[in-house]
Amino acid sequence: MAAVQTQPSTVKPSFRSLLSLPSRICNPPPAVGKVRSFGVTPLFSVRLDDVLDRKHLPPLGLKDFEEWLLYVELCPENLYFILWLREYRTRYAAWQKQCNSPSDAPFASAAASRLAAFYTRAKQTFLSPNTNYELNLSSTILAPFQEPGQDPHPDPSTFRDVEQEVRRMLEQSLRRFIQAQMTNVGNRRVLCGIIAGVLVILFGFIPPITTNFVNNQPRWLRMTVFPGLWIGLTILLSALHGVCLAVYIFGDLRQLRKFELARPVAPKLHKTSLSAHFSPPSVSLPSPPTTAYGRSHRHRQRRPGSFISATEFSDATVSVYSREVQPFPISPGQPLADFDFDGLPSLPKTQRTMSVRNGSSGPTWYHHGHAQDQTNGVEVRSGWDDEQPSRWKWLLGIVDRIQTRCSLKNISTYATMESDTTKRVKKRSKLMNAVPAFSVPLTKVLNPIILRGQWEIVVRSAGLGFLVTWVVCALLLAIPYR
């Protein structure tokens, strides 16, 4: 039985952590893999193989990438196929070595049978039509695997075209995934940061300027607007790019995502008993979302939405890399367990038809508490309607459009995808961050690339705010007395 996923370990900010702020600002992590960009949000180039080899800490770990594909882009089969192919290559090479070794020749036939069974399971899972984890590729690429008389365990080079296409889609997903991890708060906390920045600008600018002009005070007193205007612009620009300074100054922290909040809290264990309590969880692939779309625009039947409670959600969505969220020391490069198809549930085909253009119902946590199964005779609501009606919903929509213009245009540097896919990803990413503003626990950000990215957002926002403030102050100083 697979281990139940729990929430990441959380921390409470303290005023003592403020003492480390000068050191964090003056000593950022090195800019590894940084791509030249002129926006506030930096761009980083991360190798897909490094993520697959678990060389990155959260929130850029393999489990984090899997959750992004599972809950946002709805295409986890791409990751699972690549992981299967990597293991298939290893098994195929070991089988060939046995065939070429006289001492191991008696065992080669048994290894060939296991290899053929391993390929057959993958063919039924990834390469056959109308399966839950079917690769969303063109029929031209998948046709050779449906021909009769095929080798029971083909050479790994047979998958070259499939691998190239799947890796291309994974690399596009990885770029969007990295860009989304630069934020440290959800949408509502971003709105609070924007409001706070505007208020600081107004209270730091209007009173001193009004007093100066009304009382005909000296020009140099107009420079008193500098601190409030600069600080307010820094808060505003950072919030527009997803970084809340009120969280950043207390450490390298981030709010939990919506699907993380749906999990049970991890039990607290003493350090002395960690080794006694730890046992590696068994590998289990999570249930896929209801629908996924790709470049071939073929509708694929997925698991129908099951609107379950938070506890059931945690049981049903056990990650193949759940050990990364266990309350134990995390280190990159940990070996993966063997790929196991037994964790794949026997899913019924959904009878619900949906338009590719309209999108699909998302993962179960999108719908929790807002819809019921069609079998009960009640209409199922779309995942995009998950957020509760709010008097601030119109303002959140404006903020979302501003953030899109500020940050997501950087992704266009790598733009090789269709616009409708990009829109769906942005919508699902927005829903993943739809958490309360202040009551959400915080967890540590461990990855140096994300730490560097958030540092650059803060520093670039401060630099841009400093430049704008000087321009405004210069214009104010140029205004003569009445």
- Per the CB < 8 A criterion, the answer to whether 191 and 437 are in contact is yes
Q: How many whole angstroms separate alpha carbon 317 and alpha carbon 379?
A: 24
Residues found in the chain: 482
Q: How many whole angstroms separate alpha carbon 40 and alpha carbon 465?
A: 11
Where are the alpha helices (H) located in 215-265, listed in sequence order?
225-240, 245-248, 258-261
CA-CA distances (angstroms) from residue 32 to 334, 454, 459?
Answer: 21, 14, 17
Number of domains in the chain: 1
Q: How many whole angstroms separate alpha carbon 394 and alpha carbon 245?
A: 24
Q: How many whole angstroms separate alpha carbon 193 and alpha carbon 391?
A: 18
Domain contains 314? yes
Domain contains 219? no
Domain contains 87? yes
pLDDT confidence of residue 346: 46
Half-sphere CA count of 39, side-chain side, radius 13 A: 23
Largest CA distance in the chain: 102
Domain contains 118? yes
- The three state secondary structure string of 122-147 is HHHHHHCCCCCCCCCCCHHHHHHHHC
Helix (H, G, I), strand (E, B) or coil at 88: helix
Q: How many whole angstroms separate alpha carbon 77 and alpha carbon 467?
A: 47
pLDDT confidence of residue 200: 97
Helix (H) or strand (E) holding 361: none
Q: How many whole angstroms separate alpha carbon 121 and alpha carbon 109?
A: 19
Q: How many whole angstroms separate alpha carbon 236 and alpha carbon 243?
A: 10
State both tokens at 188.
Answer: 């509502």
Domain contains 139? yes
Domain contains 147? yes
Q: How many whole angstroms separate alpha carbon 240 and alpha carbon 190?
A: 7
Q: How many whole angstroms separate alpha carbon 54 and alpha carbon 336?
A: 9
Nearest to 3 by CA among 320, 450, 298, 364: 320
Q: Which domain holds residue 120?
A: 10-185+250-269+278-374+382-456
- Per the CB < 8 A criterion, the answer to whether 443 and 10 are in contact is yes
pLDDT confidence of residue 343: 61
CA-CA distances (angstroms) from residue 359 to 73, 216, 350, 362, 384?
Answer: 11, 61, 15, 9, 9
Domain contains 122? yes
pLDDT confidence of residue 110: 84
pLDDT confidence of residue 354: 32
φ/ψ of 11, rounded to 5, equals -130, 155
Q: How many whole angstroms separate alpha carbon 316 and alpha carbon 255?
A: 23
What contacts 376, CB < 8 A, 6 or more positions away?
none
By CB atoms closer than 10 A (0-12, 13-18, 19+), residue 217 is middle
Return the residue matching tokens 């927005």: 430
Domain contains 66? yes
In tens digits, the chain (482 residues) has pLDDT values of 445 678 889 999 888 889 999 999 999 999 888 888 888 899 999 999 999 999 999 999 999 998 899 889 988 899 999 999 999 999 999 988 888 876 666 667 888 889 999 999 999 889 998 888 899 999 899 988 888 878 888 999 999 999 999 999 999 999 999 999 999 999 999 999 999 999 999 999 999 999 988 988 888 999 999 999 999 999 999 999 999 999 999 999 999 988 888 888 877 765 554 444 444 444 444 444 444 333 333 434 443 332 223 333 333 344 444 434 333 344 445 556 677 776 643 433 333 333 333 333 334 333 333 333 333 333 333 333 344 445 555 565 665 555 555 554 444 444 444 566 777 787 888 777 878 888 899 999 999 999 999 999 999 999 999 999 999 999 999 988 76
